[in-house]
Chain A
Amino acid sequence: MSWKLWTLKKSLFVYHVNVGACNNCDIEIVELLTPQYDVERFGIVLVGSPRHADALLVSGICTRQAEPRLQELYRATAKPCVVLCVGSCALSQGVFADAYHAGHCVDEAIRAVDPNAIIAYVPGCPPKPEAMILGVIKVWEKLEELAGGKPAAAAHPLAEVART
């Protein structure tokens, strides 16, 4: 495992993007930082600028207005940067799929910019914080797979939290 991947597993700066969510997903995301889950134990913190981010946490259906902004945000991040789609809205636009204001799905919008983007999907309306933690572990497993190593992220202490 390269040192870059190791540090990415020990320290993850997250930038939260709301592209038309109902705010319920956002509340669940903030819950990750509360004493109950406290993901700072694993070096995961929210940051204020996309340039600092290692992960974009996207919630919402990606409206027509928000779509170009989301793409611009993804371009602004320093790579490697992964994307986590949080909530049914971000996954498939849910019941809003045919609405007048809906743009493309979050993953389609991102893939239009970078076809090789690493995207994790966290279903739920809203997903439980445990599910988001599991999403982060899946991302690490994928990164390890891409780096050619055996996936060992399941042994990470975070996996323990996700299982409970």
Chain B
Amino acid sequence: MGLLGMIVALIVGSIGTIVLGLAAKWVDRKVTARLQWRVGPPWYQPAVDCLKLMGKETVMPAVARGTGFLAAPVVGLSGACLAATMLWAMNLWVGSGFVGDAIVVLYLFTIPSLATMLGAAASGSTHASVGASREMKMLLSYELPLTIALLVAIVHTGNSFRIAEIVGAQQSGHAVALSISGVLALIVAIFCVQAKLGLVPFDQAEAETELMAGVYTEYSGPPLAVIYITRALMLAALPIFLITLFMGGVHMTGWRVIVSVLQFVLLLVVITLIRNTNPRVRIDQGVWFFWYLVTPVALAALALAMIGQHYEVTWL
């Protein structure tokens, strides 16, 4: 694939994921509304919100560092776009020797969080800096279990970090989630994704009842629209990441497309349900939860997976 092909793939992949993400955002809001016995917004609502923010004024706080403040959302969006495109590429061309491993994708997925912290710190607002410190603590607590969950998938699929090989091994054998350790790892990963998306119960960085809008307090107009789009993109890309690692990859041909769509919607609804049935936990409770509860479970899953591989018991 030449340079031109890569650029085209990047543009198509990004726009496709953004559209999917806006749809996911609508599903999220609609399910929330139905749970609260309301009707909820129309399907085009997230897109109109973005469009409206694009047409508004950008307020620059007097104490903000302009470059970092305005560059951060763009950096976050580009990191998320790149990660989403790589995921699509590795799912679409399983056979090809597309270089790119799970660690790179995992790393790219942390860029939006890092950019959020950078922008919040540059905005010069006290609310935003408290939010940034909380975001950092959450990042430190959920990254480790997520990486261990990723290792479970890798152990199951022949010790390769290449996502194409993880997908290929699952499609020729069985999905990782069809084993005890795989289920445990999937549950761990769902909690981590919840924290990565900054949704209740792990939305301490945004916490609108304590910190106004936390890390996003000072953003308005087009930069806010970029943040909104980034979050929508992550809402689409992270469930796809989970499907890729644990549920046999995303199928783009034949009747199995329906299976992939169902898996995607199922994960989305689970995330929305967790968000709607839990209160926000304190930051220390959040860190405690990930370090002392989720990480041991992830380690146990990893141990089970290794034992299963060693004795060739596929259901372990």
A residues whose Cβ falls under 8 Å from a Cβ of B: 3-4, 7-8, 10-11, 34-35, 38, 40-41, 43, 47-49, 51-52, 54, 76-80
Contact = CB atoms under 8 A, between A and B. Distances in A.
Interface of B: 29, 33, 36-42, 44-45, 48-49, 51-52, 55-59, 206, 208-209, 211-213, 216-221, 224
A37 to B, nearest CB: 9
A77 B33 CA distance: 28
Given A49-B216, A52-B213, A79-B57, A40 B52 contact: no
Give the interface centre of A4, A7, A38, A41 by most chain B CB atoms within 10 Å. Answer: A7
A11 B218 contact: no
B41 A49 contact: no
B59 A78 contact: yes
A40 B33 contact: yes
Contact of A35 (B38, B59, B211): B38
Contacts of A34: 38
Contacts of A43: 41-42, 45, 48-49
Contacts of B206: 48
**Top-4 shortest CB links A-B:** A48-B208, A7-B52, A78-B220, A49-B213
A51 B212 CA distance: 10
Contacts of A11: 45, 48-49, 51-52
Nearest to B211: A48
A35 B35 CA distance: 11
15 contacts: A7-B51, A8-B55, A11-B45, A38-B33, A38-B40, A40-B29, A40-B40, A41-B38, A43-B45, A48-B209, A48-B212, A49-B212, A49-B218, A76-B59, A77-B59
A110 to B, nearest CB: 17
A18 to B, nearest CB: 14
Contact of B52 (A8, A35, A76): A8
Contacts of A76: 59
Most A CB contacts (10 A, CB to CB) among B36, B42, B51, B52 go to B52
A41 B48 contact: no
A77 B220 CA distance: 8
A48 B213 contact: yes
Most buried by B among A8, A10, A43, A51: A51
Given A38-B33, A49-B216, A49-B217, A78 B52 contact: no
A41 B59 contact: no
A40 B56 contact: no
Contacts of B59: 51, 76-78
Contacts of B48: 7, 10-11, 43
Contacts of B44: 10
A38 B51 CA distance: 22
Contacts of B39: 38, 41
A38 B45 CA distance: 14
A54 B224 CA distance: 13
Nearest to A80: B56
B61 to A, nearest CB: 9
B36 A35 contact: yes
A51 B233 CA distance: 23
Contact of A38 (B38, B57, B212, B221): B38
A3 B54 CA distance: 11
A71 to B, nearest CB: 15
